A and B are shown apart, each in its own frame.
Chain A
Amino acid sequence: MTLPPTPSQTIGPFFAVALPWPDGPDVVPEGTPGAVRVGGRVLDGAGDPVPDALVETWQADPAGRFAHPDDPRGPAPGGFRGFGRCATDAQGRWAVRTLRPGPLPAPDGGTEAPHLDVSVFARGLLNRLVTRIYFPDEAEANTADPLLASIPDPQARARLVAVPDGDGLRFDIHLQGAQETPFLAL
């Protein structure tokens, strides 16, 4: 049996009545050893902040494992949530507090560099946009990463790598324009 999939619709301007959770940005609780802040701004094609976007992150734990039954190595112990959700503020800013993920074995044999998968939802987006955040101090792993290696333009590749920002990491999401973030098709 094959059922036709349900189409996507925009999240609209009023999702804040339901979707932001008090602990949404806390992939790990405050005070967790090794926690890092990852955040930035969401900007539109005119360079203006997008104040009504929702950014979600999904990632492996520091050992490169998932607390999920479909991880073929078995679900990771420890119950790492791995998921962050943050609505942008009036300046388009978002941030999550998390642990750095480990590298991942790829099904086709290589190794994926540590990364976060990201979904961006907003009024004016009829479907989510998906991108990835890589880490700036993983140059060697990033070079060997199969997704990054599939992007020929070095400037586009660089836009998937966060930049150091104080004691955290900054990742701005440009929906459109010269600095446009590379978005991914799942």
Chain B
Amino acid sequence: MNLEIAHLHLPLTAFALEVNARLGAHITGVFGASGSGKTSLLEVIAGLRRPAAGRIVLDGAVLSDAASGVFLAAEQRHIGYVPQDDALFPHLNVRQNLCYSHTIDQPGPPPQITYAHVVEVLDIADLTERRVASLSGGERQRVAFGRAVLASPRLLLLDEPLDGLDAELKQRVIPYLHTMRDEFGIPMVYVSHNADEIVALCDDVLLLERGCCVRRGTCADLFAVSQAPHYILKPD
């Protein structure tokens, strides 16, 4: 995967998102406090927001280019998005949520990732006929992952997927993310304000502060263990 974000500029309420980076790892982390622009960055990559300036190129294909006016619509980008509040469609049951992308006729080869495989890997086989409202937090997350994966995206964007889950639940969901990376081979961009999650999952990390990427490196470069078994940010 090769995602090029060249001179991106997107004005937000308090500051502007300015990113210039090339992402290529399996799982790239974007670490920053709340309100640092992380969600906006994902929205721009997904095609849900239009940047004021800059280019975004994925594997050689131009997704958006403000200078020439090119903007590929979100539905044509094949970039999966799992938002912060999972956003499972409440009027559909679990199976209908999962298969939503399959109801749309899309050109190209049939999806490599099958329903049976996803349901097995994410351990949600017995949930399929349930209504979304009856699911627990952890179950909702797994269904949200499954739904995004079943669209066979070439890149998956995850916005604080473990936010709101307690520590124990997080420990149980993280292996699923590993499995998703290993089983389906989809590159991911993982956004979080929680250092432990970033360290557990990501190979390459961007530190975002007030819309700007201020540091970049591996987990070892950026994070150090602290007193309690948690990670904290190393000083510059």
Are A and B a genuine interacting pair, yes or no? no
